[in-house]
Amino acid sequence: MKPILRLIFLVTLSVVLGGCYTVPETGRSSFILPVDDVGQGAAAFAEIKAKEKISRDPAANERVRRIGLRIAQVVGQDLPGAAWEFVVFDAPDTVNAFALPGGKVGVYTGLLNLASSDDEVAIVIGHEIAHVTARHGAERMSQGILVAAGGLVLDHQTQGRKNHDLLLAGYGLLSTGGMLAFSRSHESEADYIGIRYAARAGFDPRAAVTFWQKMEKQSSGGRLPVFLSTHPSHDRRIGDLQRWMPEVLPIYQAAKRQ
């Protein structure tokens, strides 16, 4: 079998074996190829722990674990079989956090220093866990595989044509733009799901607005145009969060009453 035919066969087989995944909280359907994202997440987390400096601050570790476990409890079956693990990394200049498939969550001390309340920390942890429950990583990986395969097929089919290079360049620009748009939509979806998780766990979702206002003040000038960015603009993000407040505040108030 010719290499290009083998590629087409493998991609077709992957598409057949892949399936639709329904994102919790939003109900959006996404197409995901067969991917062992839990195994990859556990391996990646072990590698990060081996390379990064882990904080030995008991107060920071207790804070993150306490907040994280409250959110994990409301996530429940949105992430079945999760082996939850919360680790604080000692990096005061890194205002970041992440979550990986299987319930692996990392928070950097720079974020803890910026977040003035547990509510703000919960918003970020909820957002990162939302990426995992929505399987955004597996979805982007699936998209990347299909885009790469499409490029190889186009390259093969247009070999020898006068406009071969132009077609490939056009395909590259369109696919890159599409992937960036998907990434921005994933960030917005994680914002929405994340504030719902935080609210359900009894954390004030209004902290999402104050946190991103801090992030906007802290960010330096010269940001990329939105269409070239993997994230929505701060203004768009804050506006969306404010628009969702009437929906999520009753969830928070109900959780507080319980």
Q: What is the pLDDT of residues 129-153, one digit of tens each?
A: 999 999 998 888 877 777 666 666 6
Q: Look up 128 and say whether it is catalytic.
A: yes
Mean pLDDT for all residues in the chain: 84
Whole domain around residue 28: which residue ranges? 3-257
Query: Between helices 118-133 and 58-75, what is the axis angle to 10°?
Result: 50
Is 182 a residue whose pLDDT tops 90? no
Q: Which among 235, 144, 252, 148 has a CA at the least distance from the CA of 195?
A: 252
pTM for the complete prediction?
0.82
Is 97 a residue whose pLDDT tops 50? yes
Please tell me the predicted confidence (pLDDT) of residue 78.
95
Domain count, the chain: 1
Report the b/e string of 24-52 with b at 16+ CB within 10 A: bbeeeebebbebebbebbbebbeebeeee
Which of the residues 128, 139, 187, 189 is marked catalytic?
Answer: 128
